[in-house]
């Protein structure tokens, strides 16, 4: 018999799957059943689809594969954080993290293999970008963490942040498709307001998100509200300086009426002075916003060092005196390189040398 080139079944929409069944003389409603097994129940093989007849399962097997991710290595931090090294169908690896707190369990997921943005302080940048993740690969990371939350903490997954490897706005369509599945009743049925997308801030895409009326939260990795400093930290700022970013944020707020969160690391000798703190306070007035001051997670012996406690307190004082909410976030999972900016497939040396 002629070998059929198998397609990844989860690349098909529900209506495409319905069409497939009709073309093969099957009932249309079978598609919905299969779709639920694939997404809601995250089945990894056709034989487990118990309400689907043997012959239909054979038909599916003949035409399709289910390219499921595999959690290749799971590391547990002393603070409860779990890091998954996730193997994709083409053997590439990305990392995702489960972050437990007393109130929440958050999944931090990757959107690309590696990253193209070259932020100087981030370990993922060293990997370069290899490819975009497919919607199902993003979705599967969330499912894996949801299962781990239930197994290890006996608690449900409450939040999702796109703060793992990669720049979500450079893989926009797939990220949106994954979020659609995460929020839909056929998928995980999670609320959009529990999802946060973090970006370096690509103005064109921020406008697009506003036009698309997305319902999730937006976080911007700001790190400096002074162009010269920001460009030194994040080369993307040369292409899209702060003026353009702020224009796109105004557009975002006009359209969505949702405030943004600025992520901000304070480094010794780089942005730890009052001028930078005041520039940030001014930037925060552009649209309603709040600030998450995140601790720097060292990635090597390089030029970056976490600023002093006094500098952090100075920032908080200045921001709060101007009515801006500023939260200082403790780093999580540092001992297993699971904290912000540390995801670099350290246990997968082959990937680094393959580039």
What single string gives the DSSP state of each residue in 136-181?
Answer: HHHHHHHHHHHHHIIIIISS---EEEE-SSS-GGGGHHHHHHHHHH
114 annotated to bind ligand: no
Burial grade of 131 (CB within 10 A; 0-12, 13-18, 19 or more)? middle
CA distance 320 to 316: 6
CA distance 124 to 97: 14
Comparing CB distances to ligand SAH, the nearer of 64 and 121 is 121
Q: Which stretches of 31-158 are assigned E, i.e. beta strand? A: 64-65, 70-76, 82-87, 93-100, 105-108, 112-113, 131-132
Comparing CB distances to ligand SAH, the nearer of 56 and 111 is 111
Give me the 147-166 binding string for ligand SAH, x by CB under 6 A, dash otherwise: ----------------x---
Comparing CB distances to ligand SAH, the nearer of 28 and 329 is 329
297 annotated to bind ligand: yes
> Which range touches ligand SAH (CB under 6 A), out of 3-11, 197-205, 271-279, 310-318?
197-205
Comparing CB distances to ligand SAH, the nearer of 142 and 200 is 200
What single string gives the DSSP state of each residue in 176-232?
Answer: HHHHHHHHSTTTT---GGGEEEEES--HHHHHHHHHTT--SEEEEE-S-SSHHHHHH
Residue 111 in 3-state DSSP? coil
Q: Is 340 in the site for ligand SAH (CB under 6 A)?
A: yes
- 58 among known catalytic residues: no
Residue tagged active-site, from 18, 148, 263, 340 = 340
Q: Is 210 in the site for ligand SAH (CB under 6 A)?
A: no
CB of 303 to ligand SAH, least distance (A): 12
The interface with ligand SAH within residues 15-54 (CB under 6 A) comprises: none
Residues written for the chain:
355
Q: Is 293 in the site for ligand SAH (CB under 6 A)?
A: no
The interface with ligand SAH within residues 65-94 (CB under 6 A) comprises: none
Comparing CB distances to ligand SAH, the nearer of 67 and 84 is 84
Residue tagged active-site, from 95, 137, 148, 263 = 95
CB of 55 to ligand SAH, least distance (A): 46
Q: Are 204 and 236 in contact (CB under 8 A)?
A: no
Comparing CB distances to ligand SAH, the nearer of 31 and 338 is 338
Task: Tell which one of 297, 334, 345, 351 touches ligand SAH (CB under 6 A).
Answer: 297
Whole-angstrom CA distances from 199 to 111, 254, 264 are 11, 19, 12
CB of 327 to ligand SAH, least distance (A): 14
- 108 among known catalytic residues: no
Within 13 A of 236's CA, how many CA atoms are on the CB side? Answer: 25
Q: Is 121 in the site for ligand SAH (CB under 6 A)?
A: yes
Closest CA to 88 of 339, 337, 348: 348
Residue 61 in 3-state DSSP? helix
Tokens of 206: 């921020």
Q: Is 296 in the site for ligand SAH (CB under 6 A)?
A: yes
Task: Tell which one of 182, 225, 299, 344 touches ligand SAH (CB under 6 A).
Answer: 299
> Which range touches ligand SAH (CB under 6 A), out of 39-47, 69-77, 78-86, 194-202?
194-202
Residue 73 in 3-state DSSP? strand
Task: Kindly state the greatest CA–CA separation across the chain.
Answer: 75
Whole-angstrom CA distances from 47 to 33, 37, 57 are 14, 11, 7
> Which range touches ligand SAH (CB under 6 A), out of 20-28, 31-39, 249-257, 291-299?
291-299
Residue positions forming the annotated binding site:
115, 119, 122, 166-167, 198, 221-223, 297
The set of catalytic residues is 95, 340
Residue positions forming the annotated binding site for [4Fe-4S] cluster:
115, 119, 122
Q: Which residues bind ligand SAH (CB under 6 A)?
A: 119, 121-122, 163, 167, 198-200, 221, 263, 265, 294, 296-297, 299, 340-341
């Amino acid at each position: 018999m002629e070998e059929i080139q198998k397609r990844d079944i989860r690349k098909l929409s529900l209506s495409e799957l319905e069409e497939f069944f009709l073309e093969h003389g099957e009932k249309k409603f079978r598609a919905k059943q299969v779709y639920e097994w694939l997404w809601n129940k995250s089945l990894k093989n056709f034989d487990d689809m118990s309400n689907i007849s043997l012959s239909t399962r054979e038909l599916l097997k003949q035409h399709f594969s289910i390219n499921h991710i595999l959690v290749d290595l799971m590391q547990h931090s002393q603070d409860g954080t779990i890091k998954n090294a996730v193997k994709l169908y083409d053997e590439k690896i990305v990392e995702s993290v489960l972050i437990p707190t007393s109130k929440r369990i958050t999944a931090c997921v990757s959107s690309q293999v590696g990253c193209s943005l070259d932020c100087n302080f981030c370990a993922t940048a060293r990997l370069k970008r290899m490819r975009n993740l497919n919607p199902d690969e993003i979705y599967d990371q969330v499912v894996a963490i949801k299962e781990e939350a239930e197994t290890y903490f006996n608690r449900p997954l409450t939040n999702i942040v796109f703060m793992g490897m990669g720049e979500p706005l450079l893989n926009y369509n797939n990220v949106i498709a994954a979020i659609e599945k995460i929020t839909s009743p056929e998928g995980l049925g999670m609320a959009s307001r529990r999802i946060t997308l973090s970006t370096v801030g690509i103005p064109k895409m921020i406008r697009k998100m506003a036009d698309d009326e997305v319902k999730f939260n937006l976080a911007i990795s700001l790190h400096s509200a002074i162009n010269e400093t920001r460009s030194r930290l994040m080369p993307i700022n040369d292409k899209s300086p702060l003026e353009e970013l702020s224009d796109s944020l105004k557009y975002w707020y006009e359209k969505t009426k949702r405030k943004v969160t600025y992520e901000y690391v304070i480094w010794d000798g780089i942005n730890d002075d009052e001028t930078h703190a005041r520039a940030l306070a001014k930037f925060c007035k552009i649209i309603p916003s709040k600030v998450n001051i995140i601790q720097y997670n060292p990635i090597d012996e390089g030029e970056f060092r976490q600023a002093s406690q006094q500098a952090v307190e100075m920032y908080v004082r200045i921001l709060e005196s101007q009515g801006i909410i500023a939260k200082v976030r403790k780093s999580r999972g540092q001992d297993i390189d699971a904290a912000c900016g540390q995801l670099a497939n350290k246990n997968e040396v082959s990937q680094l040398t393959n580039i």
